[in-house]
Every structure is written in C-alpha cells, then in structure tokens.
C-alpha cells in the first residue's frame, strides 16, 4: 500500500468521527495527526508531535474517509518512525501479551487475586501508571493450547473438512472457554480444527505501543507459521477475535510492510466463515427448541473497519428466540492497552459513556461482541456479561442434532 496522504482533500470528515477529539483536546485530530502532519514529518522528523500517542488506532477515521486515505495507518507508522524509541516498562508489560500470559497462567491461582488486590493496584498505579480503577482480565490455570492438545487434537482427523484456528492470546491465557466453544461448533459443522505451530500474539498491542521492531518480528513469524499450517493458504484460517483477524490481514501489509499475500484471503473470522457456509447451503444449523435471550450487539471498531459486523448480526438473527438490538456505532474506549494507562483512564471511560448508557437503556440479558478488550471494558463499565457470537451459537445450537444434520456423528 502506497503512502496515499496526497489524496486527502481536506474535507474534515474524519475529524467528525474521531472518538478521541471530543474527550481530549490535546489530540490534534486525525486530519492534522495523519495526512497534514505527514507533509511536515517528511520534511523533518522534529515536526513529530508526541500527542499522536492519544490516537486509539480504532480506524474510525478510515471508515469515514470518502477518499480512502489510510489515516490510522499513517499515524501508527509515524509513531514508530518518529516517536520515542525507548519503550516504557509499563507499555512493554501491557504489550508483551505472550510473555505476561505465559508467566501469569502458570501462577494463575496467585496472579489473579494479586492483580485484583488493592495494595497491588495502588503500586501498579503509582509506579507503573496502570490505572487502579481498571479491572484486570483473569488468567486461566490451563492454556487453551494445552487443553486442546491433551483432549481434542487426536480426534480432529475424523472430520471430513479442515480449518485452522488462530486462537490469539486472550483465548490461550485468559478465556479458553471461547476456544472450546469454537471447536465444538466447528466439529458439529463437520470441520476438524488444527492449531498453528508456534502461533505468537498477532502484535496489535506492540503496534499500538509503537514497538515496531518487535511487531515486525512477530508478524513475519506468524505469516510463515500460518502459511505452513494452512498448506500455503489453501485451508481456511479462522479466529474468534476481530482485532487478531484485522491485524493479520491489514496491519501486517499496511503498517508493518509484511507480505501476507498467500494467506490474506483465507484469514477470516469464525462468524464470517460460518455465515458463508450457511448462506451457500454447505452446512445446516439445528437450534435447541426453547432457546430465549435478549441480546445487545456491540460492533468493535476493528470489526467495523473489516466491514464484517453484518456477519455477526446476520448469524445472531438466525437464532430463533434471540431478540437482537444492534447498538449504535460507538467506540467503547478501551482500545486494547490504551484504557489501562493511567493518563488515559478517564478519557477512555468518557469515550465509552454513550455506549454504556445505551446498553443500560436496552437492558439485555447479555452483550454480544467479537472483541476481548471491548469485553473487559463493557463488563467493567456495565452490569452485563459479554459473550462472543461463537459462544452464543454454541449455547443456542443443538450440537448433536447439528452434527447429524451435517452427516456425521
């Protein structure tokens, strides 16, 4: 992708849809931070403005832009190229999800209460500048990968079709239950699941924290690993995280310059993949009689950028007895590691407030959402649980009957 800032017509539409501008007047706005600032930065790096760190990388500016400028990409690249080259310990801790996850999983019985304890939060707040009001995601005692290898891997050969699962850090370290749901649903549809040998974090947090070199290394590694796991892109690669999919498909080539040409088309989200199977008549879904739920769907920013929220919505609409409200397009404010930082906490909550208010008015049984960090934010900021659409599907489907309908046991 070329630098396309010269296509900017200065129409200012992006500034209308930036979630940061209304709550933080220190942020110069996407037009100034992106295409306008880029002209100066190309002249000399000293024109780099440190306030670019307030960008959420939500890409709402890109969705709004009538000229197709990759405004968010311009800002992320500028942060890596011209921003401070030393990473703060705090930012590294938040961004190194694999390292932190591996350690915390082993010590989960200790790590969870410790991370939730008030004195610890006070220390993290004052020393590391991780806001004490933030609730930490719990670590699981057993990694998803360990569970899968021990219990499921052997049985996957018997399914007639194959799909590769990019589970991501959240499923592996924090919430293996979502990965288990994915395996159950895909197996019922006749797909055997395989994992990616040596899968690493997609690197979204590294990009957001301007740790470009680490992100680049990880992206190169993942593209190779996915190529080999997917038979050079011939097998479908699905994930349950909108941000992981988005990062691998678009941030790798656009922001990091990593060629993912062999795999890009086949890297998808489970909801889009399953929707297409149903739409093309390749699989049948059999739902439990008597399933009832009132659901509010929140489309994560990266899901809107992918343009795939419609697939989650349409899939949820297929479930009889599910009463769906699609929430207004609004960033929840967490933006991955952004909302954990002390300097951003209040802004983060202010960005999400209209969304929290609307959810309160809808009063659903639970919220549906494709993103794990939105989940943390919404579960902390509203009284409702958040479920991935794949989990909702797993709960609503009669899995045995679905398996039978798709001609296998």
**Should residue 191 be labelled a site residue for other proteins when binding is judged by CB under 8 A?**
no
CA torsion sign for 73, 245, 108, 378 is: positive
DSSP conformation letters of 88-115: PHHHHHHH-HHHHHHHHHHTHHHHHHHH
339 touches other proteins (CB under 8 A): no
In terms of CB distance, is 211 or 327 closer to other proteins?
A: 327
Tokens 């407030």 correspond to 353
List of residues 6+ apart from 289 with CB closer than 8 A: none
Segment interacting with other proteins, rule: CB under 8 A, options 220-228, 304-312, 315-323, 383-391? 304-312
Q: Is 324 in the site for other proteins (CB under 8 A)?
A: no
Q: Which stretch binds other proteins (CB under 8 A): 90-98, 309-317, 362-370, 390-398?
A: 309-317
**Please, which of residues 60-79 interact with other proteins by CB under 8 A?**
62-68
Residues 23-62, one symbol each (x = binds other proteins by CB under 8 A, - = not), give --xxxxx-xx---x-------------------------x
d(CA 395, CA 68): 39
Residue 22 makes contact with other proteins by CB under 8 A: yes
Tokens of 108: 């989960």
Residue choice 3, 125, 227, 314 for contact with other proteins (CB under 8 A): 314
Q: Which of 153, 278, 310, 399 is close enough to bind other proteins by CB under 8 A?
A: 310
**Residue with Cβ nearer other proteins (86 or 361):** 361
Among 308, 338, 356, 384, binds other proteins (CB under 8 A): 308
* Nearest to other proteins of 220, 262 (CB atom): 262
DSSP per-residue string spanning 222-272: HHHHHHHHTTTTTS-EEES-HHHHHIIIIIHHHTS----TTTGGGEEEHHH
Task: Please give the helix or strand (H or E) that residue 212 lies within, else none.
Answer: helix 212-229
What is the distance between the alpha carbons of residues 389 and 238, in angstroms, rounded to a whole number?
A: 14
Residues in region 274-293 near other proteins by CB under 8 A? 275-276, 279
17 binds other proteins (CB under 8 A): yes
Nearer to other proteins, 231 or 265 (CB): 265
Decide if residue 9 touches other proteins (CB under 8 A). Answer: yes
Q: Is residue 62 within 8 Å of residue 71, measured between CB atoms? A: yes
Our CB check for other proteins shows the closer of 214 and 249 to be: 249
Q: Does 1 bind other proteins (CB under 8 A)?
A: no
Smallest CA-to-CA distance from 197 within 160, 148, 242 is with 148
Q: Does 91 bind other proteins (CB under 8 A)?
A: no
Report the alpha-carbon angle 96-103-372, nearest 5.
Answer: 55
User: What is the footprint of other proteins within residues 344-403 (CB under 8 A)?
Assistant: none
Asked if 323 is part of the footprint of other proteins (rule: CB under 8 A), the reply reads no
- The residue from 5, 8, 19, 21 that contacts other proteins (CB under 8 A) is 21
Cα distance between residue 309 and residue 289, in whole Å: 26
Q: Whole-angstrom distance between the N-terminal and C-terminal Cα of the chain? A: 46
Query: Coil, strand or helix: which one is 148?
Result: helix
**Site residues (vs other proteins, CB under 8 A):** 9, 11-13, 15-17, 21-22, 25-29, 31-32, 36, 62-68, 265, 268, 272, 275-276, 279, 304-308, 310-311, 314
């Amino acid at each position: 992708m070329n630098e396309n800032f010269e296509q900017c017509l200065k129409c200012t539409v992006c500034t209308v849809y930036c979630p940061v501008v209304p709550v933080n007047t220190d942020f110069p706005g996407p037009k100034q931070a992106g295409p306008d600032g880029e002209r100066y930065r190309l002249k000399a790096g000293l024109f780099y403005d440190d306030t670019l760190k307030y960008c959420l990388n939500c890409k709402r500016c890109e969705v709004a832009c009538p000229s197709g400028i990759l405004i968010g990409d311009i800002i992320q690249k500028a942060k890596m190229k011209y921003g401070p080259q030393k990473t703060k310990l705090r930012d590294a801790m938040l961004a190194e999800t694999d390292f932190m996850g591996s350690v915390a999983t082993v010590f989960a019985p200790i790590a969870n209460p410790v991370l939730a304890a008030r004195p610890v939060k006070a220390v993290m707040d004052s020393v590391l500048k991780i806001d004490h009001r933030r609730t930490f995601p719990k670590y699981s005692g057993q990694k998803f990968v360990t569970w899968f290898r021990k219990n499921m891997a052997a049985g996957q050969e018997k399914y007639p079709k194959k799909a590769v699962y990019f589970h991501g850090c959240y499923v592996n370290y924090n919430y293996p239950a979502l990965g288990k749901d994915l395996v159950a649903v895909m197996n019922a549809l006749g797909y055997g699941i395989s994992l990616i040998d040596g899968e690493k974090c997609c690197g979204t947090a590294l990009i957001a924290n301007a740790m470009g070199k680490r992100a680049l290394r990880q992206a190169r590694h993942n593209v190779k690993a996915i190529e080999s796991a997917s038979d050079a892109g011939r097998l479908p690669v699905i994930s349950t995280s909108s941000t992981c999919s988005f990062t691998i498909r678009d941030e790798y080539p656009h922001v990091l310059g990593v060629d993912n040409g062999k795999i890009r088309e086949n890297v998808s989200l489970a909801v889009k993949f399953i929707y297409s199977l149903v739409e093309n008549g390749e699989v049948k879904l059999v739902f439990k009689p008597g399933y009832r739920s009132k659901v509010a769907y929140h489309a994560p920013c990266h899901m809107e950028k992918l343009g795939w929220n419609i697939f989650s919505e349409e899939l949820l609409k297929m479930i009889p007895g599910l009463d769906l409200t699609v929430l207004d397009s609004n960033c929840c404010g967490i933006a991955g590691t952004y909302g954990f930082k002390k300097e951003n906490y209040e802004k983060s909550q202010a960005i999400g407030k209209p969304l929290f208010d609307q959810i309160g008015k809808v009063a659903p049984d639970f919220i549906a959402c494709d993103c794990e960090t939105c989940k943390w934010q919404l579960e902390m900021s509203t009284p409702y649980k958040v479920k991935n659409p794949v989990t909702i599907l797993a709960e609503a489907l009669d899995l045995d009957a679905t398996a039978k309908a798709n001609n296998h046991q």
